[in-house]
Amino acid sequence: MKILKICLLTLLLGMLLVIPVKSVFAQSTEPPIPPVLVNGNFVLDQLDWLSPSQEQEINAIVSKLDTDNLAQIAVVTQNDCGEDSQAYRNTFFRTWGIGHKDRNDGLLILVCWYDGNKDLRKVEQETGNGMEGTIPDLLTAKVFQEYFVPVFSSGKDAAQVISDGDAGKALVEMVKAYDGIIRGDTPEALTQTEQQDSLVAILSTTFLGLKCIWWLLILIIILIIILSKTGITGGGGGYYYGGSSSSSSSSDDSSSFGGGSSSGGGSSGSF
């Protein structure tokens, strides 16, 4: 019995040596990405440009696009987007995972205000891989120029534009324009049935270099030996469905976004 215990212990310790060390890349000087929005909220208005009703309007439009499985649009206003706002918007897009995972149909509209500095302030837009056909780079620039730029070049003071709600309105108009464009190309809502055999997914995820199913087999063998040593007979044994490494952190809020990705499409426009 003692020998068995020692052998098992050394075995387990040996396995620990194989834990892969994930390399951590040095943090760049980019500002941190805000935590991802949850529960069907698609607007993060850190500059306070949007009135509650404007925010609601955007959320309603995007929710419909989301449930119709056409797109996911995130609208974010932020003061500092770092030195390279183009690189930042790509990181932002990927961190939030905007867009349905299988369709990559995300669009990020990121207002980078930089305290209103005319040389720096921009609206960065990034499209997901699957969205580049519907909304090519040029189109994002056109939508920006048509609906956003006039608001700030109307002669009014920038602070006035914001407090009058015109800046917020510009964002709403942009979202509406995109809604029209997206729906114009796809007359029928595309519905896709998700065929995920969750048990197969769990069993085939890799854990410490071995597929989960192999770990299960090892554990079963160990248990059979232990059980047979302690005198409990019976071929079935206790099947142990533990050790699943695929469990995502079970939080009460789930991300509004589907995990889509982008490869740099979009445009950045100064105003």
Q: Is 3 in the site for another protein (CB under 8 A)?
A: yes
Distance (Å, whole) CA 164 – CA 148: 15
Q: In this complex, which beta carbon is closest to another protein, that of residue 42 or of residue 266?
A: 266
Q: In this complex, which beta carbon is closest to another protein, that of residue 61 or of residue 227?
A: 227
Site for another protein in 190-209 (CB under 8 A): 206, 208-209
Q: Is 232 in the site for another protein (CB under 8 A)?
A: no
Stretch that binds another protein, among 34-42, 54-62, 219-227, 230-238 (CB under 8 A): 219-227
C-alpha distances in Å from residue 255, one per residue of 33, 35, 94, 220, 227: 15, 10, 13, 36, 44
- Helix, strand or coil, per DSSP, at residue 268: strand
With contact defined as beta carbons under 8 Å apart, do 71 and 107 qualify?
yes
Q: Is 210 in the site for another protein (CB under 8 A)?
A: yes
Burial label for 224, CB within 10 Å (0-12, 13-18, 19+), is middle
Residue from 54, 78, 134, 267 binding another protein (CB under 8 A)? 267
Q: In this complex, which beta carbon is closest to another protein, that of residue 48 or of residue 84?
A: 84
52-59's contacts with Cβ under 8 Å and 24+ in sequence apart are 54/165, 54/168, 54/169, 54/171, 54/172, 57/172, 58/171, 58/172, 58/175
Distance (Å, whole) CA 234 – CA 237: 6
Minimum CB separation of residue 244 from another protein in Å reads 17
Which DSSP symbol is given to 129?
A: G
Residue from 177, 216, 218, 223 binding another protein (CB under 8 A)? 218
> Site for another protein (CB under 8 A): how many residues?
40
Give the side-chain half-sphere CA count within 13 A for 72: 31
Minimum CB separation of residue 153 from another protein in Å reads 7
Site for another protein in 244-263 (CB under 8 A): 262-263
Minimum CB separation of residue 63 from another protein in Å reads 28
Residue from 38, 189, 201, 225 binding another protein (CB under 8 A)? 225
Question: Token pair of 197, please?
Answer: 């055999």
Q: Which residues bind another protein (CB under 8 A)?
A: 3-4, 7-8, 11, 14-15, 18, 21, 23, 86-87, 90, 136-138, 141, 145-146, 149-150, 153, 206, 208-211, 214, 218, 221-222, 225, 262-268, 270
